[in-house]
């Protein structure tokens, strides 16, 4: 079903528990020297999971678990860029494209400031957007959730093909 709305807002969230000895991947960027990484069925990239959910939510297409069930053996260790690519494809099939996204990562450590540009660039490339259209904010949990990463993403989608 297509929608006549010229713009649609999407919002997505994801969270993962963090454990020592695992790699921490955020927005397709591996955080160097991270003291812990996501416990997950896929690569645990909470940024990309939340981005994909924001895209799907913008068109009321459900969430990534419906397309990539975390109980399915075939998705074990999945590169989350595949999830975003699929969500983007579904958005495009309906005549829309992302315009800009804003993401907030809540993580106590390590500090991510030095990776802000890398993450923006990586997410922008996956969405075929200019880097300036990807806002990246970092917050600590102030020690409330030291073994936890939480990501929140809003996305604006615009109709790029006329409604049928």
Interface contacts to ligand C5P, rule CB under 6 A: 107, 111-113, 138-140
Q: Which does 139 bind (CB under 5 to 8 A by kind): Mg ion, ligand C5P, none?
A: ligand C5P
Q: Which does 49 bind (CB under 5 to 8 A by kind): ligand C5P, Mg ion, none?
A: Mg ion
| Count of positions (residues) in the chain | 164
Q: How far apart are CA 101 and CA 9, in angstroms?
A: 10
Q: Which does 107 bind (CB under 5 to 8 A by kind): Mg ion, ligand C5P, none?
A: ligand C5P
119 is an annotated ligand-binding site residue: no
Interface contacts to Mg ion, rule CB under 5 A: 14, 49
CB 133 within 8 A of CB 69: no
Residue 116 vs 159, nearer CB to ligand C5P = 116
Neighbour count for residue 163 (Cβ, 10 Å)? 10
Q: How far apart are CA 51 and CA 147, in angstroms?
A: 21
Beta bridge partners of 26: 29
Residues contributing to the annotated binding site for a divalent metal cation: 14, 16, 49
């Amino acid at each position: 079903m297509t929608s006549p709305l010229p713009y649609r807002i999407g919002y997505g969230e994801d969270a993962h528990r963090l454990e020592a000895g695992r790699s921490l991947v955020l927005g397709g960027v591996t955080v160097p020297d991270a003291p812990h990484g996501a416990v997950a069925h896929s690569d645990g990239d909470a940024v990309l999971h939340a981005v994909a959910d924001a895209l799907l939510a913008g068109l009321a297409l459900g969430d990534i678990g419906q397309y990539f069930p975390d109980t399915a053996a075939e998705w074990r260790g999945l590169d989350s860029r595949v999830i975003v690519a699929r969500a983007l494809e579904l958005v495009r099939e309906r005549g829309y494209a992302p315009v800009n996204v804003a993401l907030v990562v809540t993580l106590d450590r390590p500090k991510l400031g030095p990776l802000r540009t890398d993450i923006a660039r990586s997410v922008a490339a996956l969405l075929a957007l200019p880097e300036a259209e990807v806002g990246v904010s970092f917050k600590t949990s102030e020690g409330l959730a030291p073994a936890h990463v939480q990501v929140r993403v809003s996305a604006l989608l615009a109709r790029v093909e006329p409604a049928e």
